[in-house]
Structure 1
Amino acid sequence: MKAIEVPAIDGAFLFLPTPYADERGFFCRTFDADVVRSVGLDPDAFVQDSVSRSVRGVLRGLHLRSGNGEAKLVRCSYGKIFDVVVDLRTDSPSYRNVASFELTGDTQATLYIPAGCAHGFQALTETADTSYRIDRPHDPAEDVTIAFDDPELAIPWPLPVTSMSPRDREAPSLAEVLKHVVKHKEG
């Protein structure tokens, strides 16, 4: 497994495993504490693992955590997703940058997303399983959602959206979210 820096998002990494394939299928290591540690991350910081299953065209996001934020490791364990990260850390050299990735079950690549970045994805295959590993327990009271189709972000989602949660569909614009975040920090 090797770690590759994501140039568009400061502090983000892609962890690329080496799947070993044969007539049975494949095997690969999807997490290696030594590799995670080698790029300055604490492998023991991750406290919860979750998985979502989506069908083709489903869009989830853009999600962010308020408060101290949430760092996460994201991997498509089955199928294929179009994954998006938006850097919303005001002190970051990549502030407001958007980066997209195609994550697949064939490669098992894992994306590390730093705290303070928004994240979303769209399922590109009939079934797409996405695994998450987060660095602090989930608290729904800290959930923040940004409109997936915000014109300021202009994310080129590859498929028409077939389904999304009401919360995601009704999400405010990036400008509205940023006003709330700034107001929250001052208050």
Structure 2
Amino acid sequence: MKVTEVPEIAGAYLFEPTPFADERGFFCRTFDADVLRSVGIDPTAFVQHSVSRSVRGVLRGLHLRSGAGEAKLVRCSYGEVFDVLVDLRPDSPTHGGRAFFRLSGETQASVYIPAGCAHGFQALSGTADVSYRIDRPHDPAEDVTIAFDDPQLAIPWPLPAVAMSKRDREAPSLAEALRPEGGPA
């Protein structure tokens, strides 16, 4: 498995497995505890695994958690997505950095997103399944959502957003979401 540091986001990594393909399809390892340990990530820290299914054009995000935050290991297991990370950690050397990836079921690549970074994605294929491993049990009271189209972030979403949750549609700007009385600590 190839591991690449994401230069725009300190502490973020791209994990690219090597699928073994033949006439039956393919097989690949998508999670390897030793590989995570080799870059300083505790593989036992992940306490929940979830999956979302989206259709082409659906946009999910930008999401993060307040308080201690939430680290994630994200992979598109089927289809293809445009994946976005934004570093919102005030003390990070890459604060304000953005990183964009095309994750797909063909490559099975995963992105490790450190706590304090916002995450979102848009489905590019007819159907896209995204799986998430997270390091803290989900607590909806800590959810923070930032407007996907915030001009300060200028994210180049590849498609018009055909559908999104009410929460995402009505999300505040970056500045409003992160103000001390309502944003992440």
Q: How does the TM-score come out when normalised to structure 2?
A: 0.98
1:15-30 aligned at under 5 Å gives the runs 15-30=15-30
Deviations 1:28-72 (A, max 9, x none): 000000000000010000010000000000000000100100000
> Secondary structure at 2:31's aligned position in 1?
coil
1:67-106 aligned at under 5 Å gives the runs 67-106=67-106
Q: Which has the higher helix share?
A: 1
Measure, in 2, the Cα distance between the counterparts of 1:137 and 1:53: 20
Runs (4+) of structure 1 moved beyond 2 Å?
Answer: 180-185
Is 1:5 aligned to 2:2, yes or no? no
Deviation of residue 181 (structure 1)?
Answer: 6.0
Deviation of residue 177 (structure 1)?
Answer: 1.3
> Secondary structure at 2:179's aligned position in 1?
helix
Measure, in 2, the Cα distance between the counterparts of 1:47 and 1:149: 31
Identity %: 77
Per the alignment, residue 62 of structure 2 pairs with: 62
> Secondary structure at 1:168's aligned position in 2?
helix
Deviation of residue 109 (structure 1)?
Answer: 0.2
Per the alignment, residue 51 of structure 1 pairs with: 51
Query: Which residue identity is paired with 2:165?
Result: S
Measure, in 2, the Cα distance between the counterparts of 1:2 and 1:137: 29
Deviations 1:4-26 (A, max 9, x none): 10000000000110000000000
> Which one is further off, 48-57 or 1-10?
1-10
Q: CA RMSD in A?
A: 1.2
Asked if the contact 2:65–2:184 (Cα under 8 Å) also holds between the matched residues in 1, the reply is no
Query: Which residue identity is paired with 2:118?
Result: A
Query: Which residue identity is paired with 1:93?
Result: P
Aligned residues: 185
Query: Which residue identity is paired with 2:78?
Result: Y
Per the alignment, residue 108 of structure 1 pairs with: 108
Runs (5+) with no aligned partner, structure 2: none
Q: How does the TM-score come out when normalised to structure 1?
A: 0.97
Per the alignment, residue 134 of structure 1 pairs with: 134
